[in-house]
């Protein structure tokens, strides 16, 4: 009987610790004040990332222009479907005060380079190796696109795949 009792109390203690850990995790996730959700009208957080050619891009370098930030990954099927449409619109809007920056989420340079070469992508592809920009912009899911107006304010946040018609409309809306 004593052995059964010890086993019962051991299991009870383990269960109590697990329940406490779950409650602690849920509470912290619900009350995490460090995460600020971005919304339309907020200043777009500045960042500095390197592109596939080794050139550094800062969002602040594009002040006075409309900027489309497209967060994506090579494994993301909707990202792959919208990439050619974004590329086509980049060719149309290039030189009109619009910049498109593709932000790849933490994938190897060679994989990203091979992928974008195969698709014929011409706009800059930035590498967010540590997911720091993704976290600052609260990106989830992929693809997510953030439109930034000429004043550096967030004009729109689009989650999910865009059509070429959508992209054209969005770029027109942020054209200076």
Instruction: Give the percent of the chain with pLDDT over 70.
Output: 93
Residues 79-88: what's their mean pLDDT? 97
pLDDT band at 87 (very low <50, low <70, confident <90, very high): very high
Do 132 and 48 touch, CB atoms closer than 8 A?
no
Query: Which of the 8 DSSP states describes residue 62?
Result: G
Q: Specify the pTM.
A: 0.81
Instruction: Determine the pLDDT at residue 110.
Output: 96
CA distance 154 to 149: 6
pLDDT band at 14 (very low <50, low <70, confident <90, very high): confident
In order of 68, 131, 174, the CA distances from 146 in angstroms are 6, 16, 11
Q: Which residues of 33-58 are buried (b: 16+ CB within 10 A; e: fewer)?
A: eeeeebeeeeebeebebebbeeeebe
Instruction: Determine the pLDDT at residue 5.
Output: 84
Which among 61, 68, 29 has a CA at the least distance from the CA of 157?
68
123 contact partners, CB below 8 Å, separation of at least 6? 86, 87, 90, 100, 101, 102
In order of 106, 140, 151, the CA distances from 131 in angstroms are 6, 12, 25
Digit-coded pLDDT (tens) for 29-63: 655 545 568 999 999 999 999 999 999 999 999 99
Digit-coded pLDDT (tens) for 126-147: 999 999 999 999 999 999 999 9
Residues 89-98: what's their mean pLDDT? 96
CA distance 175 to 51: 23
**Among 6-10, 17-21, 37-41, which stretch is predicted with the lowest mean pLDDT?**
17-21
Instruction: Determine the pLDDT at residue 35.
Output: 54
Query: Which of the 8 DSSP states describes residue 101?
Result: E
Give the three-state DSSP class for 89. Answer: helix
Digit-coded pLDDT (tens) for 22-38: 777 776 665 554 556 89
């Amino acid at each position: 009987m004593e052995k059964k009792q010890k086993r019962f109390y051991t299991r009870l203690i383990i269960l109590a610790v697990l329940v406490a850990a779950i409650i602690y995790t849920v509470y912290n996730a619900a009350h995490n004040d460090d995460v600020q959700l971005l919304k339309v009208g907020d200043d777009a957080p500045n960042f500095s990332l390197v592109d596939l050619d080794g050139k550094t891009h800062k969002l602040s370098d594009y002040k006075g222009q409309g900027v489309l930030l497209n967060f994506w990954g090579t494994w993301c099927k909707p990202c792959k479907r919208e990439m050619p449409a974004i590329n086509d619109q980049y060719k149309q809007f290039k030189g009109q005060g619009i910049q498109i920056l593709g932000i790849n989420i933490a994938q190897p340079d060679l994989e990203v380079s091979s992928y974008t070469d195969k698709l014929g992508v011409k706009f800059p592809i930035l590498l967010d190796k540590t997911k720091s920009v993704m976290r600052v912009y609260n990106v989830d899911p992929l693809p997510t696109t953030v439109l930034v107006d000429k004043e550096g304010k967030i004009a729109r946040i689009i989650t999910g795949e865009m059509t070429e018609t959508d992209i054209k409309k969005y770029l027109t809306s942020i054209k200076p």
